[in-house]
Amino acid sequence: MGALIACSSGDNNADTTSGNGGGTSTMVGGAGGTGAQMPSSGPGGADGSQLIINEIMYDPKAVSDEAGEWIEIYNAGVNSVDLKGYRIHDQGSNSHTIASSVTVEAEGYVVLGRQGSNNGGYDADYVYGNDFFLANSKDAVILRGPDDAEIDSVIYGSTAPWPLKNAGVSIELSAPTLDNATPTSWQLAIVSYGDGDLGTPGGPNGGAIPGDYTIDDTVDGWHQPALKTSLFFGPLDPLESIVLDELKLAQDKIRLAFFNIRLYDVRQLLKSKIAIGVDVHVILDKKQQALSYNTMGEQLVADGITVTLVERTEAVDATMHDKFAIIDDGRVITGSANYSHTALNISDEDLVVMESSSLAARYQLEFDELIADGDDKSAPYGASDKIHAWMGPEDSIYQKVISALDGAQNTALVAMFQFNTSSILDAIIDAKNRGVAVVVVLDKVQADDPESLANETLSSAGISVVLAHNMGSNFAEMHSKFAVIDHQLLLIGSYNWTNLGSFFNDENLLIIDDGHLAARAEGKYADMLNAYGAPSASSLGLTTGPQTVDFEVNNVTLGAQEKLMIKSIGGGPFDPAVEMSGTTLAANVEAGTRIEYRYEIHDSKGPLALEGTTHAFTVPYAPGPFSVVDTFEK
């Protein structure tokens, strides 16, 4: 083989060639390192066993390396073998002799793990502890029999031609008959286990096991399929990856209108898109780009991207405050978040993704008006339209908010970064006075500003105010801007309920009439109440106790002997996994509980297919039932 390797001296020995006293060494393939060509005698051959190092998890993500590393051994022979007395070691000083019986059945698997519990969710057949550990760059795994004869060995790397290192993803043989000394015989795992890492510890490598089930990959995974709309909320949802994945879909055109963009990966993605002919145009606020630390506008221009800077001069602090993206005239992404690392990973933020040519056209009109300095009012909607997009200041969006609050009958839950528009404050107080349960979450830093009226005004009117101080970083904020009325109507967008936002800024506001999406927003509200030390939900006039959540998977057809399971990730109401009734499940879950989960397809022998993704839903402090529609994602 002749490859230079580094011994296991820990996870940071990226390019070193010396280990724990083992020195620099090379290893030449032969009997060791050839999983498909075993010795003709000795413990690995004459007894009918053929032990193969089949899968290696050297860099877990769900837990630390000290807890989550493991090695899988496959027996390709016709007889079982007991591994007691066998030894695993590397080319340095790491070595462990298996001290108890561990039987590998013919055509069976065993998992040798560094820890037996809290290990990321796999079942260890034997725990070897800290005698042996796996480097995250390159290392060796050598298996020897009780007579010290070498049975198999693998010298793996983390760069080409080996599968590139991917935290939380094991490397596995594409087939156990392949030569495991050859890097191209290995692949990255694609199905998840336990707490969400990818791998198949104790089972066949690769994707789903064939069965009678079918998974329709053409079904899109919208939170609300009828409206082709999904809601995501940071920091619990991975907003950065969602945004980048959506922008990657662009084939013809991208339009971005943002108060500010600072994320390097957005710039790189836009560069890659213009390189293949995608038409990209970006609008940014001119006042923000005049600040010395905001250089994205200049960088994008240098990359060959069209950038327009918009300046609002109607008030001293007025801004182009929009935050929306249009993709291929058919998809819109909007919400509270600017495209920065803090916004998309740490702050409390809202993200709406919609597929609709009519909504895209409406946002395109706003985009064109920003360039032309126009202020035409948006066209009215029909009675059957469930999503209304309004633009400020021309559409008097503050009046849309007041109208919605005036219609509240039971509850009004507000989360607002900045708030000082007196007419909206009056509408909230009026709602409280006629018996509506009103709760308002405000960013603490903004609420403490002397110019902010909301905290004192609302509190003096007897309205419950929660001050949220996001401590995720020095720049983190409770930056959300949404309200949910009567568990049905959702108001969300770039619009702070301030005088600047109401009368001077360029803003956008969505009003969505849908219980599915309102429930997801109320779930985020529950997350914030739980995170920011709010009084008990019952004292706020909200609903507590178990609530019914109806789960449905809309792209799976099961065979006669198969069942769909739902499993909590990292503990929760579906741990252990719960069998569904066909592809649905009505579960009673305590209000305020956040559930992170995946789906699995089983037959009588065990798992056939495991999802490679994680879903999430927080049960609101509101009366159920709630409907959750998911797609099974391979």
**Domains of the chain listed by start with CATH number:** 3-188 (2.60.40.1260), 214-219+543-630 (2.60.40.10), 229-513 (3.30.870.10)
Nearest CA among 314, 325, 316, 317 for reference residue 258:
325
CA distances from residue 281 to 242, 278, 305, 319 in whole angstroms, order as listed: 20, 10, 7, 19
Residue at 415: amino acid letter: A
Which of 278-282, 462-466, 513-517, 559-563 shows the lowest mean pLDDT across its residues?
559-563
Strands, DSSP E only, in 273-328? 279-285, 306-310, 323-327
| Contact (CB, 8 A) for 44 and 151 | yes
Burial class (CB in 10 A: 0-12, 13-18, 19+), 531: middle
Q: Catalytic site residue 481?
A: yes
Q: pLDDT by residue (tens digit) across 169-196?
A: 999 998 888 899 999 889 988 888 888 8
Q: Which residue has the tokens 């983390």?
A: 158
**Interatomic CA distance for residues 121 and 594, integer angstroms:** 19
**Interatomic CA distance for residues 67 and 252, integer angstroms:** 46
pLDDT in the model for residue 209: 59
pLDDT in the model for residue 237: 96
> Of 273, 432, 479, 567, which is the active-site residue?
479
**Interatomic CA distance for residues 173 and 35, integer angstroms:** 10
Q: Is the peptide bond before 393 cis (omega within 30 degrees of 0)?
A: yes
**Interatomic CA distance for residues 250 and 459, integer angstroms:** 47
| Contact (CB, 8 A) for 5 and 88 | no
pLDDT in the model for residue 49: 57
Q: pLDDT by residue (tens digit) across 326-356?
A: 999 999 999 999 999 999 999 999 999 999 9
Strand partners, 552: 584, 629
**Interatomic CA distance for residues 405 and 367, integer angstroms:** 29
pLDDT in the model for residue 7: 30
Average pLDDT along the chain: 90
Nearest CA among 461, 589, 480 for reference residue 532:
480
| Contact (CB, 8 A) for 78 and 48 | yes
Nearest CA among 284, 335, 353, 285 for reference residue 313:
285
Q: Give residue 578's Cα distance to chain centre.
A: 23
Q: pLDDT by residue (tens digit) across 214-249?
A: 999 899 999 999 999 999 999 999 999 999 999 999
Q: What is the mean pLDDT of residues 289-311?
A: 96
Q: pLDDT by residue (tens digit) across 46-72?
A: 344 589 999 999 999 999 999 999 999
In sequence order, what DSSP letters do the residues of 9-61 get, joined into one string?
S-TT-TT----SS--SEEE--SSTT-TTS--SSSTTTTTS--EEEEEEE-S-S
Q: Is the peptide bond before 210 cis (omega within 30 degrees of 0)?
A: no
Q: Quick one: pLDDT band at residue 15, thresholds 50, 70, 90?
A: very low
Q: Catalytic site residue 479?
A: yes
> Of 481, 516, 524, 615, which is the active-site residue?
481
> Of 47, 131, 329, 486, which is the active-site residue?
486
Radius of gyration of the chain (CA): 28
Q: State pTM to two decimals.
A: 0.73
Structural tokens at position 615: 């879903």
Q: H-helix or E-strand containing 428?
A: helix 422-433
Structural tokens at position 306: 């069209």
